[in-house]
Amino acid sequence: MNRLKIGWIGLGNMGNPMAKNLLKAGLEVTVFNRTKDKEKDLISAGATSAATPEALLQACDVVITMLSNDEAVKEVFESEQGLLSKDNPGKIIINMSTVSPETSRYLATICSKKQVHFIDAPVSGSVKPAQEGSLVILVGANNADYEIVKPIFEILGKVAIHVGEAGVASAAKLAINYLLGLNLQGLAETVLFAEKNGVSKEDMLNIINQGACGNGITAIKAPAILNDSYAAAFALKHLVKDLRLAKEAGLDSPLIHPLYDSFVLAQEEGLGDQDVMAIISSLKNK
């Protein structure tokens, strides 16, 4: 494990602390980010910088990508100086970005043609779990590849769940984010309904979190609701993207359509860069 050289692409709100945790664990980490200013923090912490994704893969045994959407991930793999622009047989690429199952299967296919091992490993959790190394990691890989990179996942998360081959983990991530959306929408509607009928949001949140309906997300989001402050731990626009991907992957249940429409409307109202819990601000005026 200690001999593995790790490359990291994507130093946003999630990628930066995750890469930093690898450095704290004593691993050799090389980074690439299109916006070079975002590399400075990691370089100060001991990382080195690669000029291109292709150079990064050449220099490392395992490269991890943590990017915002399917298009950004495909660009990093397929561009002129992308990860697969030259032959690097035997290397491992782990995509921890949330993308469609179709995209994950496609990436696995193009990697296989280059004799590169591909692992689909999106995460459940936002910025604080990324900082704490307590993410839930959903893994799509063959058993042999999973065993090689499992020690990396043990640094980044509290648990890694091997759910199948590439693409299956992406489906699991879309499923859990659908449940996240339902929780947030339900929490917001409940608090607003209670307030309209004379129950303070403080009391309603206490009722929720002291009872059987409380859960991790209702507890985590209670302070944001109480303070009416929605700095992004997980930006609302990203949940819109994930719900869209779930629909495109075949989710056609009774609740997905109104849920998706609600979050799309919130994004159109200018709430996309705020936290997902800002859905309550959109609903408040309805």
Report in angstroms the alpha-carbon separations of 132 from 16, 92, 123, 136, 159: 12, 25, 13, 12, 13
How far apart CA 52 and CA 85 sit, in angstroms, is 11
Is 173 annotated in the active site? yes
Distance of alpha carbon 286 from alpha carbon 279, whole angstroms: 11
Helix (H, G, I), strand (E, B) or coil at 159: strand
Active-site residue, from 114, 173, 221, 237: 173
Bridge partners of residue 124, in order along the sequence = 136
β-strand partners of 32 = 9
For 184, residues 6+ apart whose C-beta sits below 8 A from its C-beta are: 217, 221, 239, 276, 277, 279
Hey, how many other C-beta atoms are within 10 angstroms of the C-beta on 39? 21
| Active site (catalytic) residues | 173
